[in-house]
């Protein structure tokens, strides 16, 4: 709900009188500055559940707003696709009440994401259905321009519908938004689409198509992370960050996910539209294939690729103490060796600045950071550096060991690094490595696993 007053909408009893074929629930489902949506039953179709969208009376008096609402009806009625919400009944140009009747959805993606991030396979199913709807619309010259979770509805069996074509534009029709208007929803809308003032000089269907690609990438980001894009950025500067900064990083929020997912979302949300996917379907296919590759990864511990312990004889002698010390890396204020002898030279201060540019820092990595190909020591580099060879997606300290008799810890590594189906490598350290002797299952313990993927 927003601050729209009830006086801008007809009272329920008057609304009911104007729509006698529908039994309308007096309590609205939701209200925006332009419209209100009610649950209803279609008495002519055996009380089929529908949703009635009604335009605010104060806006219906203005020709421009009337024209926009009627354009939405026209566009939805003209797009016959299984994943585009369809029209059951609607107002005509001369009707006093502007309304649109649609099937009643069982929920929307916004409510689903309020419960947290989705599993990648579930996200792929949603993205594929929305992409199919958008490509169909684009091929017919219609750009949606407001793709976001609230406009992605669920029917029976998680069938997806794309809804709300209120700011959509037809390539050969009049753009009913005015110079200075905001189009779409800031954190999901491409910067070149959001500001009508910047687009006043003209646009084409290709620009609009790429704008919807951006928005679908933003929805994918939200599905994978459980957070809106730029959610941690202040509203006052989010526009500048979108226009000038890099795309938001999935890896910063979900380092446990495959790095490929991050790359796909970043490509879709590139600030340069020429770098985005050409179509929404191309984006959806790239993500579906990435999910399939992740799911086709190690099916059991025996298939895990494992380079083994870091060869650190020289480094240990030099004082890096990677055996037990890394069990404390970046996870608290006490960066101390487990023997109590002092601060671990190889551990990283949680407040240390990220490694950028061509810098290289010899220290323990955080999740989300990248390493060089050096197998004898940890050398942290920027992930966009040419020297980056591995990306750490998880660090697990003091892990459970389901098979203590196993000296190479394959089963424990699978539990720590591989249960989400990703193909991975890992390093480990344990008390036997630290003391340079054979593993004793009854007395020794694992200090950490460092889970990574090769770039």
Task: Just list the catalytic residues.
Answer: 146
Integer Cα distance of 59 and 262 in angstroms: 42
Q: Which two tokens stand for residue 236?
A: 């006052």
- Is residue 25 packed enough to be buried (19+ CB in 10 Å), middle (13-18) or exposed (0-12)? middle
CA R_g for the chain: 27
Integer Cα distance of 125 and 130 in angstroms: 9
List the one residue out of 380, 344, 350, 384 whose CA is nearest residue 365.
380
Local structure of residue 122 (DSSP, 8 states): H
DSSP secondary structure string for all residues of 163-186 = ---TT-EETTS---SPTT-B-S-G
DSSP helix/strand/coil, 48: strand
Q: What is the distance of C-alpha 364 from the center of its chain?
A: 29
* Residues 409-434 as b or e (16 or more Cβ within 10 Å = b): bbbbbbbbbbebbbbbbbbbbbbbbb
Do 73 and 53 contact (CB within 8 A), yes or no?
no
Tokens 């679908």 identify what position?
A: 216
Q: Which two tokens stand for residue 13?
A: 């009893």
């Amino acid at each position: 709900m927003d601050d729209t007053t009830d006086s801008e909408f007809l009272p329920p009893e008057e609304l009911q009188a104007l729509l006698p074929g529908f039994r309308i629930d007096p309590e609205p489902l939701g209200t925006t500055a332009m419209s209100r949506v009610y649950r209803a039953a279609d008495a002519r179709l055996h009380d089929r559940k529908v949703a009635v969208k009604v335009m605010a009376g104060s806006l219906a008096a203005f020709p421009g707003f009337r024209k926009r609402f009627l354009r939405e009806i026209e566009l939805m009625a003209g797009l016959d696709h299984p994943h585009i919400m369809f029209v059951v009944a609607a107002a005509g140009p001369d009707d006093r009440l502007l309304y649109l009747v649609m099937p009643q959805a069982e929920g929307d993606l916004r409510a689903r994401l309020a419960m947290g991030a989705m599993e990648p396979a579930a996200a792929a199913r949603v993205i594929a259905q929305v992409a199919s709807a958008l490509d169909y619309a684009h091929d017919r010259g219609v750009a949606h321009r407001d793709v976001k979770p609230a406009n992605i509805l669920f029917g029976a069996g998680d069938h997806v519908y794309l809804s709300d074509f209120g700011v959509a534009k037809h390539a050969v029709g009049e753009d009913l938004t005015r110079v200075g208007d905001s189009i779409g929803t800031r954190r999901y809308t491409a910067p070149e689409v959001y500001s009508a003032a910047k687009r006043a000089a003209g646009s084409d269907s290709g620009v609009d198509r790429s704008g919807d690609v951006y928005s679908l990438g933003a929805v994918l980001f939200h599905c994978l992370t459980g957070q809106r894009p730029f959610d941690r950025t202040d509203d006052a500067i989010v526009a500048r960050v979108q226009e000038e900064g890099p795309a938001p990083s999935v890896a910063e929020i979900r380092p446990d996910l495959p790095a490929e997912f991050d790359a796909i979302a970043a490509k879709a949300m590139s600030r340069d539209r020429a770098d985005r996917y050409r179509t929404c379907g191309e984006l959806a296919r790239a993500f579906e294939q990435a999910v399939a590759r992740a799911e086709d990864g190690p099916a059991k511990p025996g298939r895990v690729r494992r380079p083994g312990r870091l060869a650190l004889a020289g480094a240990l002698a030099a004082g890096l103490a990677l055996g037990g010390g890394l069990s404390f890396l970046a996870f608290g204020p006490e960066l101390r060796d487990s023997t109590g002898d002092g601060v671990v030279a190889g551990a990283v201060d949680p407040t240390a600045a990220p490694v950028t540019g061509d810098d290289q820092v010899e220290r323990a990595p955080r999740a989300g950071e990248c390493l060089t190909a050096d197998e004898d020591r940890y050398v942290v580099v920027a992930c966009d550096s040419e020297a980056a060879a591995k990306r750490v997606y998880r660090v697990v300290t003091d892990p459970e060991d389901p098979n203590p008799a196993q000296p190479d810890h394959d089963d424990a590594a699978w539990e720590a690094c591989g249960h989400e189906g990703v193909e991975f490598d890992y390093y480990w350290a344990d008390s036997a490595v630290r003391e340079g002797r054979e593993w004793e299952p009854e007395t020794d313990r694992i200090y950490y696993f460092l889970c990574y993927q090769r770039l």
